[in-house]
Chain A
Amino acid sequence: DVVMTQSPLSLPVTPGQPASISCRSSQSLVNSDGETFLTWFQQRPGRSPRRLIYMVSNRDSGVPERFSGSGSGTDFTLKISKVEADDVGVYYCMQSTHWPRTFGQGTKVEIK
């Protein structure tokens, strides 16, 4: 199975400041068609997961522009340009290029 490794696992942030989460895969997430299936989810406390970004950099409808995804191959990043209090929660990356789909361990974002 593809192992997804996130860092950091805990991220204290100051409101208004940027934040960045790294996600690395144990093998390339590019498929034979040149597509890369890397997704970012947000899970607020006590809530279901919410998809933020799909296929590396495509923001879902209703997701604030301060969230952006980038990367290629085995190295990916989720950036929050200016953190808000509402962004508290756990963020997961997930690959779906290979079966089974696998998630990173999660990064807990908290406000300082």
Chain B
Amino acid sequence: EEQVVESGGGLVQPGGSLRLSCKGSGFTFSDYWMSWARQAPGKGLEWVAIIKSDGSVKMYVDSVKGRFTISRDNAKNSVFLQVDSLRVEDTAVYYCARDFFRSGDVWGQGTTVTVSS
């Protein structure tokens, strides 16, 4: 079964950092672009970042540029999202998704990031 599983969320104070992880299984991880998206409580979806299959291309939504960094380790079938300088408005469920035909076809269950003092 093709799946991705996120981890690493938690409660952090404003200005703090977390490293979110996503591990893929059941497919050739290194063949796919991978993305992170998020959903604030009771709100809609927002695409946050994407990374090419070999890690050579990374793109971010403007609201996280300079604060979030996406990376991957194909040997470990994993993609990461380093989230720094966190703000209250970054509070959300963060989803990892495999990209296929330029949208996520396999999604994880999400990991919750809560930014609060």
Q: Residues on A close to B: CB < 8 A?
A: 37, 39, 41, 43, 48-51, 54-55, 58, 60, 92, 94, 96-97, 99-106
Q: List 20 interface pairs A-B (beta carbons < 8 Å), by A numbering.
A: A37-B103, A49-B104, A50-B107, A51-B104, A51-B107, A54-B100, A54-B101, A54-B102, A54-B105, A55-B102, A60-B105, A94-B45, A96-B103, A100-B59, A100-B61, A100-B62, A101-B47, A103-B45, A103-B46, A106-B45
Whether B103 and A51, one on each chain, are in contact in the complex, defined by CB atoms closer than 8 angstroms, is yes
Whether A99 and B103, one on each chain, are in contact in the complex, defined by CB atoms closer than 8 angstroms, is no
B108 CB within 8 Å of chain A = yes
Q: Which residues of B contact A49 (CB under 8 A)?
A: 37, 45, 95, 97, 104, 107
Q: How many residues from B make CB contacts under 8 Å with A? A: 22
CA distance A96 to B61 in the complex (A): 12
Q: Residues on B close to A: CB < 8 A?
A: 37, 44-47, 50, 59-62, 95, 97, 100-105, 107-110
Whether A39 and B103, one on each chain, are in contact in the complex, defined by CB atoms closer than 8 angstroms, is yes
User: Which residue of the partner chain B has the closest CB to A90?
Assistant: B44
Q: Which residues of A contact B44 (CB under 8 A)?
A: 92, 103-106
